[in-house]
Amino acid sequence: MKTVVVCVRVREEVKKLLEESGVDISEEVKRFLEELAARVKTRKYVKVWDELLSKVKPAEEGFSALSVREDRESR
């Protein structure tokens, strides 16, 4: 897997507090960015699904009830 370097600047006291608390800053930043990327990807898929569903003609009034009734009677 190919990786790239991402640099960020934080206040010195923030870094010091996190390190003193045993936080692996690098791992936490990686995890956050991966979760953010997954949410962004999900939003893109939802947008595509919304666009596709907006083109679908709604079912006729009573279709669901009729369909269930037909299914029950066919048994």
Q: Is residue 38 part of a domain?
A: yes
pLDDT for position 59: 85
pLDDT for position 58: 87
- Please determine, for residue 74, whether its predicted confidence score (pLDDT) is greater than 90: no
Q: Is residue 69 part of a domain?
A: yes
Q: Is residue 19 part of a domain?
A: no
Q: In which band, very low, low, confident or very high, does the pLDDT at 73 lie, cut at 50, 70 and 90?
A: confident
Q: In which band, very low, low, confident or very high, does the pLDDT at 71 lie, cut at 50, 70 and 90?
A: confident
Domain of 29 in residue numbering reads as 25-73
Tally of CB atoms within 10 A around 25: 13
Q: Is residue 31 part of a domain?
A: yes
Total domains in the chain come to: 1
Q: Is residue 43 part of a domain?
A: yes
Q: Is residue 9 part of a domain?
A: no
What digits encode the pLDDT tens for the residues 34-61? 999 999 999 999 999 999 999 999 888 9
Q: Is residue 3 part of a domain?
A: no
Query: In the structure encoding, which two tokens stand for residue 31, read together?
Result: 């995890």
CB 19 within 8 Å of CB 25: yes
The whole-angstrom separation of Cα 6 and Cα 36 is 15
